Structure 1
């Protein structure tokens, strides 16, 4: 039997300058006591606007700074606060780890969750899953939820004032969305939500890519000077919503497997997720023998916004080390196997080195 098509998304997505001043108005139907699980910068940059939105209401707000990683112990600590304070709504304020901690806490305590991203480095805010770690920082599991967040609220002012490297990394993560979903449709592979890929999902994925090409470079310039322009608003939406809902319902292929592979290399520990996904996207296009114009379009885009197109830029200087990453990227269960014809570690190694050679031509 064919896999049933499936489309999931947050119940509500709100974005714009000073959107957090509307926080109460957009979430008041969910409950009257809130636990805000915040990163340090999330608390600093958001709590004043959030508190202002609750002026003249009798809601209870509890702000808690979390300890930097979405670990089992930290989730337990937040669950205890939620129970002790009789919390009705959980809110994640910060980057991916704060958001993942909030989603998990809400899931276990059977509360609705609201997400307030303070950077757009990944597409985590809109998705129905979390990455959970052990208390020593090692990976534990992916936690899949029965539904996506009740609301995602993105304040463009907060994003415009965050370091531009996060916006660029988010564009790298978003760059893989269309090409990975396209690969999955060719092989009838299921999406991250384990459903068939709908026309609507593919339309979001394609719009994500077109938006990056149209607005990416200008958005980067605007963000460097903390300016909110239509181009920046477009890229925020591409990084957070189009990429998040697109990847969730479109599936993954080579780009994210390459990221997983390179995490095995110590020299890539500080390379951002989106940077490796972008480089993995170039490798995927080479494996697919994509038209030369398409590969050039993707590489031109990466070069223009500062995403890596060479191994040196992701931190790798020894070609032999790429064998380790390629082996890890091709283990059973990896999404690279959603590609037509499948891929061996040797084939991926050759594609990665070819991507590097093409990238080096930009610097001659």
Structure 2
């Protein structure tokens, strides 16, 4: 079967066969060229940048090699960033914490974290300092390349190029008269555009509600996808699996990161395996530590806000709801989303299929952490980023 022949898009080049391409970075003309293009001197200023298809194939292979190197660099940087983030999450603590306001166990855990941070400093200090300067240079180079690519004017693919005919004196006079008329039309259009802009400015204040809603949505997005199950704050019978970000086993498992008190935080859990009971919600981590990760949820004051797969509710504030079957049930493969709104002082659990919700009030004075309590060999995955059903 005969291979298709590429034809030149210039109208006055009579669909002549394409014989090569131009690779000059500053050229604004269409890059594939024919013999007629050369006769018309379309690329006369950079003939050394004209390649036939054999040369262009080699040129393309060089480009592909560079492209693959960029991909490898991106993957390597992402891998390094992921490892650093895991260590940061494991060692996270509140720098403004008042030692007089926390328990002995919490102080002990804080000291252990600081010691581990010092160990990181001994191990990585030299490497971190050496890595910063070249990384900053790479970042600046890519910023400049991105700006250049954005500003560069690209010719649309397969856009026909119009013939520029030789004009007679009569045609030139007619074009001159036409240009005057078009100028009048352009002035009228410009006036209308200015009037429209004025109208837009006049009605802009009415969009304040939409802008406020958008800011709230941006805040929600900002609070997503930054929670990790902890290898420290958990029952000994819990196994935390990374990078899957899942927990399985028996007992409580708390996240390393506290829930933001700004905007609305959304966290999602996927039920991988439910063996008898799974509790999902938030807790006061200090109170959980003091109870040795085994609070009596039937009593008020356990410091948790939870629902379980049987619809039971556990609240440390709303005493009339504690240990009552008031919520919805959930099962294997369900995704349970919790929304924590400090302004409204409420936490809402959501199951998408079928749509069911349940809401509790909570104490905004306490610092809260996402958590789960598992029974038997249950397994839950914390979704980062959030994937809804």
Q: Determine which structure has the larger helix proportion and give its number.
A: 1
Higher strand share: 2
Q: Which of the pair has more CA radius of gyration?
A: 2
TM-score using structure 1 length: 0.22
Larger RCO, structure (CA 8 Å, separation 6 or more)? 1
